């Protein structure tokens, strides 16, 4: 039976949503696959052009006789565009988006050249085809010597500079255009690139890897030499020297003519981190960041494609760097939330990297001091290889960590947010002129209800997540919609100190300034860093020791190195612990461990204080002991019991409309559709989203959980089909979020 290929024609001009169907001739059955670059005749003039296959099916969309066959495939069918297109098709299926959205995410946008262009010619025929054409031309004995010369040259060198062809080979440009029209070759242009790193210099100084670093590198190298490619989880405590290990592995991959991508969370993408790579690899490195113009980004991608650079360092989007022979993808701090895209397609860089690596026959290194529960789960199942760095380099100690029970403070009559112990320590550090970081791990906007006497938090009886407090005096569960009034006394201990816990950094700053009038206090949060450059200015002021206390949100605990900081405190650990989604404990554990890593970076030992109403909660206890494995086991038991990821997969169907009624009825209709299609399925909702109305858009959510990801994809497809067919659903927008990172 015949098969048909959907072909998109012009990827450079952004016309990505139009595809055309061609028949796959028998001789190409074996070679054509998703992503293949193919030659076709297009339009009524039967113009010979190339395109990419984005889908293969058995159903003709037109009358059989009207479908033209593919003319052939382009010789280098492992071209990087082919791989990226195959990746986009996977992302569309896996995360739910249109193909257009997926392609736009993955394919580098070509930005119009402002600088001088360089043209080159590329052969589109296979070697056999080219040979046959060459023989035919010779047999005809027409005056085609120049064309023959060109074809011969292109059979030796797949790509040739325009100048070389027109000058050294003296092929007239009219001849080149003739062959271009026949679809034998393509004329491509590139241009001289800007370089974001001025005169990158390698430095001579090299660190000698210690024994455990060596062991990890050798294990990777042994696999690599045997041709084994896969995903590795590098679990190494803070300061264990992970970056040195990444660089060693990258060097290994580069020595075999392959390239590497290093993903780093945007917030940690500082000059210092990048310079570590530059001083090791010099001009082979380039970077991407969100402050770059489209033109600058496009240039960096082009430098990667042409082989000018071998290593790209950047945030999530650097994953799509068009390296022709990618060998390794490193994801540093793999547990970070920012690796999940919050725009459609809502892809996770970890899984997408693994898929890209599979297509490119490359390996992936995931690195973290506090691996995501997902990654550690996969490592324990044997899907990833686990590599460990269990001690800090030069055996530097982790800071001493103390938990302060805020319930005891209340009992002793201290209603302030600063415990007596923390107060003493702050006074002591101010006296010694050492510095202090205080952080408020506040997340999102939702408040929860808790008892200040016994620490109990009101949770949904069905979902085991904290209920969200609403202005109308009721609480509701974000997943299943269960709702109840806020109690006036604690259901556990009867205390009347029960209520919503909300606290902002601004309030804390005021309290600290009052309690320590002589101290220099800086605040860093979303409000004080709104202006460009403020973030950097605050950190510099603190680094120059022009302030004693830095108070801020989780933004202050990531990746900075302040040797004079000897005291770090989490003012209210409960704020992130009791978030309205299932990841609260994980986030708290990660934040507290990271914060602990901030104290005592210099010669003076550090100390950490965690203030909480739930001192016996495992996330707090294990963070204080820096015991990841114990934390993992308890958290995983909870996820398994409740079927939360990674024990099962979760799909959130996000239904949005400017009309409240439309959002509600559409969500109800879709939930009904899903329940009918899979009567046994675990489907919750629809419920109003945690933020039920945002920018005048009403938001509803349906939650689906299943161990089998494919069933969730089928549910997603069901909804997409229905949205296409059902006119009554025109007023709503539907997004999909698989294994969500943030509450919707
Ligand atoms: P991590 O990423 O695991 O927190 P880093 O790679 O940033 O750790 O290393 C922490 C510090 O230790 C860096 O200043 C690094 O240069 C240094 N370092 C790494 N490996 C070694 C080593 N084998 N010997 C001495 N210093 C090292
Ligand atoms: Zn109580
Ligand atoms: Zn619930």
Residue with the bigger pLDDT between 52 and 620: it is 620
Judge whether 381 and 363 are in contact, CB under 8 Å.
no
d(CA 152, CA 83) in angstroms, rounded, equals 28
* Number of other CB atoms surrounding residue 62 within 10 Å: 10
> Which whole number is the average pLDDT over 152-174?
82
Identify the H or E element spanning 515: helix 505-515
Taking the centre of ligand 2 as the mean of its atom positions, its distance from the CA of residue 202, in whole angstroms, is 60
Taking the centre of ligand 3 as the mean of its atom positions, its distance from the CA of residue 589, in whole angstroms, is 23
Taking the centre of ligand 1 as the mean of its atom positions, its distance from the CA of residue 393, in whole angstroms, is 6
> What pLDDT is attached to residue 575?
84
Sheet holding 311-314, edge to edge: 285-287, 311-314, 259-263, 326-332, 363-368, 231-236, 385-389
Lowest mean pLDDT among 88-92, 345-349, 504-508: 504-508
Residue 247, pLDDT above cutoff 70: yes
> What pLDDT is attached to residue 665?
95
> Which whole number is the average pLDDT over 296-302?
86
Residue with the bigger pLDDT between 241 and 37: it is 241
> Which whole number is the average pLDDT over 435-449?
77
Orientation of helix 628-642 relative to helix 373-380, angle to 10°:
90
For the chain, the average pLDDT equals 87
**End-to-end Cα, the chain, rounded Å:** 46
- CA-245 nearest atom, ligand 1: 6
Cβ 240 under 6 angstroms from ligand 1: yes
User: Is residue 710 very low, low, confident or very high in pLDDT (cuts 50, 70, 90)?
Assistant: very high
For ligand 1, atom 23, name the residue with the nearest CA.
Answer: 209
pTM tops 0.75: yes
Cβ 317 under 6 angstroms from ligand 1: no
User: Is residue 444 very low, low, confident or very high in pLDDT (cuts 50, 70, 90)?
Assistant: very low
Eight-class DSSP state of 494: -
> What pLDDT is attached to residue 203?
65
Lowest mean pLDDT among 55-69, 480-494, 595-609, 687-701: 595-609
> What pLDDT is attached to residue 167?
77
Nearest ligand (C-alpha, residue 213):
1
> What pLDDT is attached to residue 727?
87
User: Is residue 77 very low, low, confident or very high in pLDDT (cuts 50, 70, 90)?
Assistant: very low
Taking the centre of ligand 1 as the mean of its atom positions, its distance from the CA of residue 472, in whole angstroms, is 52
Judge whether 487 and 456 are in contact, CB under 8 Å.
no
Polymer length of the chain? 744
Eight-class DSSP state of 340: B
Identify the H or E element spanning 326: strand 326-332
Cβ 602 under 6 angstroms from ligand 1: no
- CA-213 nearest atom, ligand 1: 23
Strands (DSSP E) found in 586-727:
607-612, 649-657, 682-694, 697-706
- CA-209 nearest atom, ligand 1: 23
> What pLDDT is attached to residue 473?
80
Judge whether 596 and 626 are in contact, CB under 8 Å.
yes
> What pLDDT is attached to residue 148?
87
Strand partners, 570: 439, 610
């Amino acid at each position: 039976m015949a098969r048909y290929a959907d072909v998109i024609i012009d990827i450079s001009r952004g016309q990505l949503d139009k595809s055309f169907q061609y028949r796959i001739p028998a001789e190409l059955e074996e070679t054509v696959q998703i992503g293949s670059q193919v030659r076709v005749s297009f339009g009524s003039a039967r113009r010979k052009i190339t395109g990419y296959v984005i889908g293969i099916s058995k159903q003709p969309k037109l009358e059989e006789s009207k479908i033209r066959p593919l003319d052939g495939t382009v010789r280098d069918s492992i071209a990087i565009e082919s791989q990226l297109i195959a990746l986009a098709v996977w992302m569309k299926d896996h995360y739910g988006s249109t193909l257009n959205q997926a392609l736009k995410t993955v394919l580098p946008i070509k930005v119009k050249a402002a600088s001088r262009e360089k043209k080159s010619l590329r052969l589109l025929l296979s070697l056999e085809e080219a040979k046959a054409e060459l023989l035919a031309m010779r047999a005809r004995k027409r005056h085609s010597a120049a064309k023959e010369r060109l074809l011969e040259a292109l059979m030796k060198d797949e790509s040739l500079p325009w100048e070389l062809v027109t000058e050294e080979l003296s092929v007239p440009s009219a001849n080149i255009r003739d062959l271009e029209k026949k679809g034998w070759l393509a004329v491509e242009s590139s241009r001289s690139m800007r370089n974001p790193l001025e005169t990158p210099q390698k430095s001579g100084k090299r660190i000698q890897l210690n024994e455990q670093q060596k062991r990890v590198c050798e294990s990777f190298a042994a696999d690599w030499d045997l041709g084994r490619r896969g995903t590795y989880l590098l679990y190494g405590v803070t300061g264990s020297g992970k970056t040195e290990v990444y660089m060693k592995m990258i060097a290994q991959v580069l020595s075999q003519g392959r390239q590497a991508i290093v993903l780093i969370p945007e917030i940690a993408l500082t000059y210092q981190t990048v310079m570590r790579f530059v001083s090791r690899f010099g001009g082979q490195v380039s970077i991407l960041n969100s402050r770059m113009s489209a033109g600058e980004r496009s240039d960096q991608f082009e430098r990667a494609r042409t082989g000018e650079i071998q290593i790209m360092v950047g945030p999530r989007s650097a994953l799509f760097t068009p390296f022709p022979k990618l060998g390794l993808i490193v994801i540093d701090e793999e547990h970070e939330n920012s690796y999940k895209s919050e725009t459609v397609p809502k892809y996770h860089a970890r899984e997408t990297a693994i898929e890209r690596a599979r297509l490119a026959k490359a390996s992936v290194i995931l690195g973290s001091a506090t691996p995501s529960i997902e990654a550690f789960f996969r490592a324990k199942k044997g899907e990833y290889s686990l590599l460990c760095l269990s001690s800090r380099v030069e055996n530097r100690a982790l800071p001493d960590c103390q938990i302060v029970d805020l319930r005891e403070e209340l009992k002793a009559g201290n209603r302030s947010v600063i415990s007596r112990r923390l107060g003493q320590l702050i006074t002591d550090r101010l006296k010694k002129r050492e510095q202090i970081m205080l952080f408020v791990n506040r997340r999102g906007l939702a408040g929860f209800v808790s008892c200040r006497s016994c620490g109990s938090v009101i949770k949904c009886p069905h979902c085991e997540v904290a209920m969200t407090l609403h202005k109308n005096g009721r609480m509701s569960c974000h997943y299943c919609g269960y709702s109840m009034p806020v109690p006036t006394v604690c259901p556990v201990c009867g205390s009347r100190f029960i209520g919503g816990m909300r606290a902002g950094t601004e309030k804390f700053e005021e309290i600290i300034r009052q309690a320590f009038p002589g101290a220099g206090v800086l605040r860093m949060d979303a409000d004080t860093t709104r202006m460009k450059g403020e973030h950097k200015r605050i950190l510099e002021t603190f680094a120059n020791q022009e302030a004693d206390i830095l108070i801020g949100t989780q933004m202050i605990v990531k990746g900075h190195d302040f040797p004079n900081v000897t005291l770090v405190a989490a003012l209210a650990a409960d704020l992130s612990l009791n978030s309205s989604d299932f990841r609260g404990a994980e986030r708290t554990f990660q934040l507290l461990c990271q914060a602990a890593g901030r104290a005592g970076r210099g010669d003076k030992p550090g100390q950490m204080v965690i203030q909480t109403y739930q001192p016996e909660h495992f996330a707090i206890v294990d963070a204080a002991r820096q015991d990841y494995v114990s934390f993992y086991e308890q958290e995983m038991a909870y996820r398994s019991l409740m079927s939360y990821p990674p024990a099962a997969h979760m799909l959130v169907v996000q239904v949005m409309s400017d009309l409240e009624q439309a959002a509600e009825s559409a969500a109800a209709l879709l939930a009904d559709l899903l329940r009918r299609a899979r009567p046994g399925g675990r489907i919750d909702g629809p419920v109003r989203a945690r933020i039920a109305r945002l920018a005048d858009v009403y938001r509803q959510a349906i939650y689906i959980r299943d161990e089998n990801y494919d069933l969730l994809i089928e549910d997603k497809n069901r909804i997409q089909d229905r949205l296409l067919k059902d006119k009554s659903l025109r007023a709503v927008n539907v997004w999909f979020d698989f294994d969500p990172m943030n509450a919707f």
